[in-house]
Amino acid sequence: MPELPEVQTTVNDLNKKIVGRKITGAWFDWGKTIKSPLREFEKNIKGKKILKVERLAKNILIYLSGDFILLVHQKMTGHLLVGKWKIEGKKVIPIEPKHIISDPQNRFVHLILFLDNGQMLALSDLRKFAKVILGTKNYMENLPELKELGPDALEIRFEDFKNIVGQKHGKIKQILMDQTAISGIGNIYSDEMLWVAKIHPFKPANKLSEKELKNLYSAMKKVLEKALKLRGTSVSDYRDIEGREGKYADVRYVYQREDEKCQRCGTMIKRVKMGGRSAHYCPKCQKL
């Protein structure tokens, strides 16, 4: 699932590419992606001007004229692309840019918004879990899923981080991924920041010392900022809006590196199950 660095990279790029453009129409072949009534979606989206694009946790918010907001949550395998496609029946054929054409991860297009400059904003989503909602600003800002979000991982101050995380009784990795506690972190970066901070993913959050909390807070900022600079992680489906891979996967410490040597001590990285997810850690550097 795209996490904070991937979503922020997408938002930054969209602000450069589509702001000021007018949406002239929409095409989709998987109506379940759109959580608004389909007829209202097509009617309300047409003619809207794109004013700005923002990130809220892992959500992309596209602000439109007429006091509307288009929300896109990319979920497990979704990513937004800007380019050109040709639609032939049920086939969606990419025309440009070259990275979209050449990478098979970009071929699962199920939603296209046509822009007034001939470009298109498309959603590629292999597993069809992505979610799109269109509504008025007042309606969108009062969605429970947005109102219940915790502070953003890149914006939270240490004292607030300590007060939130340090009082939770769950495993620290699960707390980091809980969007109502701290928003923006998922499976990839929780593994990475816990390795940097030398904290076992199963350690109860409320058992972390002041020093461990400071180390974890510092690691969170360091890892997320590094991943953002490298334009995200593409170990799976994520691509930027031109269909290119993020480069953080080349430098990651532990995520999906089971049975490889720890970069600090040389011990083999382990993978363990945590609920329905996996945790990757060094058993020597990150002792429980």
pLDDT tens digit string along 91-147?
999 999 999 999 999 999 999 999 999 999 999 999 999 999 999 999 999 999 999
Residue 210 is a catalytic residue: no
pLDDT given for residue 243 in this prediction: 97
pLDDT given for residue 45 in this prediction: 97
Catalytic residue, candidates 21, 55, 58, 239: 58
Catalytic residue, candidates 2, 5, 94, 201: 2
Residue 3 is a catalytic residue: yes
Question: Which residues in the chain land under pLDDT 70?
Answer: none
Catalytic residue, candidates 3, 6, 192, 245: 3
pLDDT given for residue 27 in this prediction: 96
Catalytic residue, candidates 49, 137, 226, 277: 277
pLDDT given for residue 90 in this prediction: 82
Q: Please, what are the domains in the chain? A: 4-147 (3.20.190.10), 158-281 (1.10.8.50)
Residue 2 is a catalytic residue: yes
**Residue of 131, 102, 130, 106 whose CA lies nearest to 120:** 106
Residue 58 is a catalytic residue: yes
pLDDT given for residue 89 in this prediction: 85
